Structure 1
Amino acid sequence: MPALSLLTTQSRIALAAAALCLAAPMVHAQEVQTVRIAHAGPTSGGIAHIGKDTENGVHLAIDELNTQNLVIGGKKIKFELVAEDDAGDPRQATAVAQKLCDAKVAGVVGHLQSGTSIPAATVYSRCGIPNITASATNPDLTKPGYKTTFRLIANDNALGAALAIFAHDALKVKKVAVIDDRTAYGQGLADVFKATARQKGIEVVAEEFTTDKATDFMAILTGIKAKKPDAVFFGGLDAQAGPMLRQMAQLGLSEVKFFGGDALCTEKLPDLSSKAGTMKNVTCATGGASIQKMQGGAEWKKKYDARFPGQFQIYSPYAYDATFVLVDAMKRANSVDPKTYLPFIGKTQYKGVTASIAFTANGELTQPAVTLYTYKNNVRAALN
């Protein structure tokens, strides 16, 4: 009997030890908190390549953050990407925004375009979710003063003015025709360009409009050709700018300068234009430094290309930084709850890949940069 009692006691001890070993991973698992950060933008349709580029930037940031073993609020954090396609449509963008609110994501990087970002911002404001756009440039985005909305690049006031000043001062343009795609982005950018051009003494000889789905511009360009402009300004996307440049070449407008904003200033524009001879006439502006002049930009680009070969366009570094800005605020607040960490975004002093990032009271960058580009042998090259 004593031996049996000893065996029973030893068995019990062994079983208890085994139970503790099994329980340990369960306790550890309970200490890990999944924090979902969303990307919202067009990953289908004519500018899916641009939307996918920004999504890639968020993906790259989350992959890196998950190697850091961050502990926030006493819990180990695992970040997860929630990717939503707004198809570049304002109505779908508001539906996506509401879906992300209902899902209680911790923050949103997006949307891509001004026309989608502006209505979505209202939804995010109502539910208290921070959203940072890496690309939308219409000044109206921040005019309502939502405490949840931030922009990581220069707005159209800076881009449109910079292009008009360069057209007058550097290229000696005297007459310009203006076309816009009637979106919040394209029309807003064109309005700023026109106002600044006129202030500089440039004559606006034509004002035309199209849509962000059009591909045939022959009628518009034929009318413009009769007015003999030195330049054409287009407020719109690369999906329209490419065919427009090709059709300008076909109409003999091969020496007319061509200006546009950041949404046409992509790596894909030469292909979209079928490498038309008019590519050499393009000057476009983006709200930020060129990748070559970003602090750490060259090293970052190597990482991006290794992870997403052949997909880089323009906005992914800003989407990457936007993700880190959200997480930096969480760390300083010691909370992943949007209600708790949101006020810390406004106090950001973050040294990112794109710039040293700080925000004004209405969510704009305190020191936005503008870079002008042209295309040399169908490769985008910075002018400043």
Structure 2
Amino acid sequence: MKKTYAGASWLIAVALSTVSVGATAAEQVVKIGLTGPLTGPQAAIGKDDENGVRMAIERLNAQGLVIGGQKTRFELVSQDDAADPRTGMTVAQSLVDANVKVIFGPFNSGVAIPISNLVNVSGIVMATVASNPSITQHGYPFVFRISASDTQLGSRMGEFAAKALKVKRIAVIDDRTAYGQGVADEFISAAKANGIEIVDREYTTDKATDFVSILTHIKGANAEGIFYGGYYAQAGALRKQMKRLAMNGYLLGGDAMCNAELAKLGGDAVDTRVYCPQGGPVLDQTPEGRQFKADYKQRFHTDPLTYSAALYDGVNIVAQAMQKANSIEPAQYRAALAGIDSHGVSGHYRFDSNRDLTDSPITIYTYRNGEPTPLASSQP
């Protein structure tokens, strides 16, 4: 009897082992790619984007989604593109080779523009927060934008400068990146249409630290302010140098300078005469936003910056599209994503024929006590 019992136990153990192996084999792993500036002067924003994706993945894995009849686990493959187009191409190819099912990012338009063709040809969905309008104007069916474009951001700031600030004369500086030039061009177009004279157009780089020569030239043009097309790392230094030269006019810019890091770099020079936009609603003004902000701070011990909420939403809408298509493969779920109609933390996600958001509210911020403070929110 003892021998028979032992044999039965062994058979039960084998059966359980077989079930366990089968259950493990049935789980599918979906690799989620992320490309962004995780090092260098834009590292804070890159890590913020990564945190948004990571938090969404952790929550999806806790839910135990079943897609295509298989339990699905998501895995983050995050790579540093250093805000550099060449590095970005290498990173994008690496993510393609890793068989990711979606690529989130890049943050920088100068990286997004060249990699979009590679990613599209590879048949992988790309969901970017980069804002240059051309990214979604090539007709690439796998390329989506999950935040506002320069057309929306730059135009809104041009209208704001004319109608709210009553500016008549303004100078423009851009850093010659695809992002900086793009948002500056859109600002100029809207500013001119609203009666503002562009008294000077100057150029710098996204590595610059000294703006004194440019600012001295602008000061002689009697501009009431400056619109800067570029990133927060340069905008902080620019504002400090404006103050040093007793240039007390406005500093306006795009979304890439619109975060708490700007005030850390610019100190008390970043004040109520600095204005910039962000796409999406103010987190503190909705229950979902307040909960996201609290959860984010608990998880990462810092406040969210610009686009972590949009990327958090992006992961969720891709997961929804996969569930609707009953497939993790981009070729199968892409159409479901294009037809998505979903509310998230950062807004309402519906795409037009270019796969740009149809509903993208713009919030304009100023700075008080070192913190970006929202003024108003409006549809573009």
Q: Aligned to 1:165, which of 159, 174, 191?
A: 159
Q: Aligned to 2:74, which of 79, 104, 124?
A: 79
Map of 2:32 onto structure 1: 37
String of CA shifts for 1:79-126, please: whole Å, max 9, x gaps.
Answer: 111101100001111111111111110111111011111111111101
TM-score by length of 2: 0.96
Distance 1:295 1:260 in 2: 29
Residue 199 of structure 1 and its aligned partner are, at CA, apart by: 1.5
Aligned residue identity for 1:157? T
8 Å Cα contact 2:108-2:179 kept in structure 1: yes
Map of 1:90 onto structure 2: 85
Map of 2:253 onto structure 1: 260
**Alignment RMSD:** 1.2
Residue 18 of structure 1 and its aligned partner are, at CA, apart by: 2.2
SS in structure 1 at match of 2:99: coil
- Note if 1:339 corresponds to 2:334: no
Structure 2 residues without counterparts, runs of 5 or longer? none
Say if 1:197 and 1:7 are closer, same or farther in 2 by CA, change over 3 A: closer
8 Å Cα contact 1:375-1:381 kept in structure 2: yes
Map of 2:298 onto structure 1: 306
Structure 1 residues without counterparts, runs of 5 or longer? 1-5
SS in structure 2 at match of 1:296: helix
Distance 1:282 1:18 in 2: 69
Q: Aligned to 1:142, which of 130, 136, 139?
A: 136
Map of 1:105 onto structure 2: 100
Map of 1:320 onto structure 2: 312
Distance 1:28 1:210 in 2: 57
Structure 1 vs Structure 2: percent identity of aligned residues?
41
**Number of residue-to-residue matches in the alignment:** 376
Residue 37 of structure 1 and its aligned partner are, at CA, apart by: 0.7
Residue 304 of structure 1 and its aligned partner are, at CA, apart by: 0.5
- Note if 1:231 corresponds to 2:225: yes
Distance 1:279 1:241 in 2: 13
Distance 1:65 1:220 in 2: 49
Map of 1:178 onto structure 2: 172
8 Å Cα contact 1:153-1:369 kept in structure 2: no
SS in structure 2 at match of 1:147: coil
Q: Which has the larger radius of gyration?
A: 1
Map of 2:150 onto structure 1: 156
Distance 1:285 1:10 in 2: 73
8 Å Cα contact 1:333-1:341 kept in structure 2: yes
8 Å Cα contact 2:225-2:250 kept in structure 1: yes
Distance 1:57 1:149 in 2: 20
Residue 176 of structure 1 and its aligned partner are, at CA, apart by: 0.3
Distance 1:293 1:236 in 2: 28
Distance 2:286 2:37 in 1: 26
Map of 1:275 onto structure 2: 268
Distance 1:341 1:171 in 2: 45
Moved over 6 A (4+): none
Q: Aligned to 1:130, which of 119, 125, 128?
A: 125
- Note if 1:290 corresponds to 2:282: yes
Aligned residue identity for 2:200? A
Distance 1:11 1:231 in 2: 86
- Note if 1:377 corresponds to 2:369: yes
Distance 1:350 1:164 in 2: 30
Residue 311 of structure 1 and its aligned partner are, at CA, apart by: 4.9
String of CA shifts for 1:17-64, please: whole Å, max 9, x gaps.
Answer: 222222222121111111111111000010000010000000000010
Distance 1:211 1:103 in 2: 33
Residue 295 of structure 1 and its aligned partner are, at CA, apart by: 5.8
